[in-house]
Amino acid sequence: MIVGLYRAGDSRLHRAGPGRKLLALILGGTLLLAISSLWLAALGVLMVLALYGLAGFGPRILWAQLRPIAFVLAILFLAQLWLATPAEAVLVVLRFAALVLAAGLVTLTTRTSDLVAAIERGLSPLSRLGLDVAKISLAISLAIRFIPAIGQIAGEVREAQLARGRRPSPLTLVVPVIVRLLKMADEITDAIDARS
C-alpha cells in the first residue's frame, strides 16, 4: 500500500469531520482571495500557523508544505516587486502561504480513506442525474491497488531485458509495461464481472 500524507494525531482538527474541514477551507480561501489588506493577510497566516500548533505540527512539517512552491513564490515575489509595489509583492506571498498551508493542514489531519468517503457522500445526490457513484468508488480503489503493482511490473520487465543483455531505455521500458497493463485489464475485467 502507498502511504498517504496524513499525519496521525488526536487533536481537535484530526477529529473534525472531513466535510466540515473542506468547507472551512473553501470559505477561508475565498475570504483570503477577497481581502487586499496586508495586515489581514498576515493575520490569516498567523491564524493558520496557530492551527498547525493546535494540530501538534512543528516547523519541519510546516516547511514541507511550503517547499514545493517556494521557488515559484520567490519568482512571483520578484516579479511583483519589479512590476508593482513591495506591498503587493508581500501580499501575494502571504496569501499563497496561508492558502497552501491551510489546504495542506486538511490533508495532514484527514485520512485518505475519510476524504474518499466524504467525496462519495458528496457525490451521491448526483446519482439521480445518472452519475454512477459505485463506479467512481471502484475506479478509486482499483487505482490505489494498481500503483504498487505497476512498480513491480516495471521491475520485472527491466530484469527480463537485462537478462537478455539489453540495456533498458525509457521507451523499451514503458512500451512493454503498457502492453502488459492492457492485457492485465482484460483479466481484471473478467474477474470483476464474474464476481458481480
Partner 1 sequence: MSTRDIVLVALFAALMAALGAFPPLMIPAIAVPITAQSMGPMLAGGILGAKRGALSMLLFVLLVAVGLPLLSGGRGGLGIFAGPTAGFIFGWIAAAAVTGYLVERFWTSLNFVTAFLAATVGGIVVLYGIGIPWISLVGGVPLATAATGSAAFIPGDLVKAGLAAAAILMVKRAYPMIRPAHGRP
Residues that bind partner 1 (CB under 8 A): 2-6, 25, 29, 65, 68-69, 72-73, 75-76, 79-80, 83-84, 88, 92, 96, 99-104, 106-108, 110-112, 115-116, 119, 132, 135, 138-140, 142-144, 146-147, 149-151, 154, 170-171, 174-175, 177-179, 181-186, 188-189, 192-193
C-beta atoms surrounding 195 within 10 Å: 6
Least distance from C-beta 145 to partner 1, angstroms?
8
Q: Which grid cell sits at 75? A: 519568482
Least distance from C-beta 147 to partner 1, angstroms?
5
Least distance from C-beta 38 to partner 1, angstroms?
14
Least distance from C-beta 25 to partner 1, angstroms?
7
